[in-house]
Amino acid sequence: MDSKVNYAAVGVFVLALSAVLVVAILWLAVGAGGKKHYDLYMAIVNESVAGLNVDAPVKYLGVDIGKVRTIQLNPSDPQEVQLIFAIEQGTPIKVDTEAVLKTQGLTGIAYVELRGGAPSSLPLVAAPGQQYPVIRTRPSLSARLENVLTTVLANLDRTAANINALFDDENRGEVKRILANTSLVLDTIASQKTEIASLIANAAKTADQTARTAAHIDPMLAHISKSADALEKMANETSIAATSTKKTAQEVGTGVRQFTGETLPEIERLLGELNVLSASLRRLSDQTDHNPSSLLRGLQPVPLGPGENTSP
């Protein structure tokens, strides 16, 4: 029995196999020639990483630069999550570069976004004792919103508690009384609206009269200002006169002291001599009255005449 071979099928199979081999060789060649090298970095986050998976993209300002290699809890602190990134060599990871978790669109697929890194900053290297360089992290938008909502809700709870404490039975009764009194006051004001309108009209008239009176106050104030200037000038002149009087009094006092110290003793001596002279003249006058011849003969006794005897 002769076997029949389908040469056309064999040819197609050979060609297909050859094409697959060519494609495989080209793929291997391209893959080997374009193989990328990665550096490992670590980031520590203090929030939930729900939605972030291994091999999730790591982007720098939206450009894919690597993938998430591992995700695990920090053995020494279960509140922290350690992320290991495989980032292409040559990526400018600086000491001020920051990592933040983000979600892509509405799918909720999480990825890591890197940002920051000034051109003048130093490259990030591993610190002594660290296995990988550690990239700083920032809270994600969802974490910040959660913190804000938590704070707002806590404040709302405290506010509600304060309001409940404020409006207890006793305070509600006081509020009712205040509202009742306010209503009574408003009713009283409404019943006195005519008198209030009259009072407002009188106040307007008083204000108008005050305005007219104020127009006459300015000249009066100017006159008072002039009078004050005149009084000030008079006071200045009085001060000058007082200064001159004081100076004159000082000079008079100096003259009086000089007169008392120098002239008065001389006058006293002169008066003494005048008293002595007056006494002498008085004695001379008395002597002349009793014995006028003494002016010629002096005070010597008159010699006895012939036959006069001194004895009785």
Contact of 52 with 42, CB cutoff 8 Å = no
What digits encode the pLDDT tens for the residues 205-218?
887 777 777 676 66
SS3 category, 186? helix
Q: Average model confidence (pLDDT) for the chain?
A: 77
Bridge partners of 49, per DSSP, are: none
What digits encode the pLDDT tens for the residues 3-51?
555 677 777 778 888 888 888 887 776 555 556 789 999 999 998 888 8
Mean pLDDT on 193-212: 80
Strands, DSSP E only, in the chain?
A: 38-45, 57-60, 63-74, 77-88, 97-104, 109-116, 134-137
What digits encode the pLDDT tens for the residues 114-163?
988 888 889 989 889 888 999 999 888 878 888 888 889 888 888 888 87
Beta pairing, strands 77-88 & 38-45: antiparallel
Gyration radius of the chain's alpha carbons: 66
Q: Which two tokens stand for residue 169?
A: 């039975």
Phi, psi angle pair for 100, to nearest 5°: -140, 140
Mean pLDDT on 233-255: 68
pTM over 0.75: no
Q: Which helix (H) or strand (E) is 42 found in, with range? A: strand 38-45
Contact of 297 with 291, CB cutoff 8 Å = no
Domain ranges of the chain: 35-138, 194-256
- pLDDT number for residue 290: 66
Phi, psi angle pair for 137, to nearest 5°: -125, 155
Mean pLDDT on 98-102: 90
CA distance 224 to 232: 12
Question: How many CB atoms are located within 10 Å of the residue 93 CB?
Answer: 21
Contact of 65 with 114, CB cutoff 8 Å = yes
- pLDDT number for residue 144: 82
User: Above pLDDT 70, what percent of the chain?
Assistant: 71
